[in-house]
Amino acid sequence: MDATSLGIFLFALFFGGLTTGLAGFALALVVSGIWLHIISPTQTVTLIVGYNLLTQSYAIWKLRHALSWRRVAPFIVGGVIGVPIGTMLLTYIEPRHLRTGVGALLVVYSVYSLARPAFRPVKSAVSADASIGFFNGLLGGLTGLTGIIVTVWCQLRGWPKDEQRTVFQPVNLAVVVMSAVSLSFAGAVTLETTKLYVLGLPVMMAGMWAGLGLYGKLDDAAFRKVLLWLLLISGLSLLAPLLGI
């Protein structure tokens, strides 16, 4: 990798860390579109998983005061079941079509929610939370999109920002751990990828710390808007190939 490509790689990584520190997700959204032009898809996925292991773990530790494992457990149990099923379904379902459908739903949901700032929180039972965890894991196994479904669900539940993050971040971490194990067995963790990971680690951490500092200045309403805008961008990015962008 030449100096220009390395600079682009690190620039994208800093803002990926910043976004993750601020919102709790979207590292892949920020970096993948840039990295895929300079490194291989396998390296891109492996590095995203590797960095997410660190960012999600660190953020959970920072927010541990609000963490309730009783609340998180149904989502994780559902996700652990959903991820391998989604992986198995890869041979039967075209992920591209699924991404397009998810993208359309995200755009509709985020635009509607941004236009309607007040909403009544959804009440739910443990079985519903487990079902959301299952479909979140299923989508992650099929497309690599971890956390989108559970993030939307946390918004609909109307929880304060700390409670939202201490639900969807542990769930994301569980899915990322399963992905890391799969990538390791597949031989995707190479010496070259490891060198890139170590080189980018200080830059990513600097971005994440800056994002966490900004997160502390947001109230619940501002945090909700940040998530909605990121979900809207996520949806548009999934629709971009269909639109020829």
pLDDT tens string 44-83: 888 988 898 888 888 788 778 778 888 899 999 998 898 8
Q: Where are the domains of the chain?
A: 3-239
Q: How far is CA 185 from the centre of its chain?
A: 22
Tell me which of 227 and 29 has the higher pLDDT.
227
Contact 70/121 with Cβ under 8 angstroms? no
Task: Give the pLDDT of residue 117.
Answer: 64
Residue 66 gets which letter from DSSP? G
Give me the sign of the Cα torsion angle 16, 162, 133, 96. Answer: negative
Task: Give the pLDDT of residue 149.
Answer: 87
Question: What band does 184 get if pLDDT is binned at 50, 70 and 90?
Answer: confident
Question: What band does 215 get if pLDDT is binned at 50, 70 and 90?
Answer: confident
In angstroms, the Cα distances linking 207 to 12, 16, 23, 55 are 10, 7, 12, 10
* Encoded amino acid at 163, one letter: E
CA distance 43 to 144: 14
In angstroms, the Cα distances linking 86 to 80, 92, 97, 138 are 10, 10, 14, 4
Contact 13/217 with Cβ under 8 angstroms? no
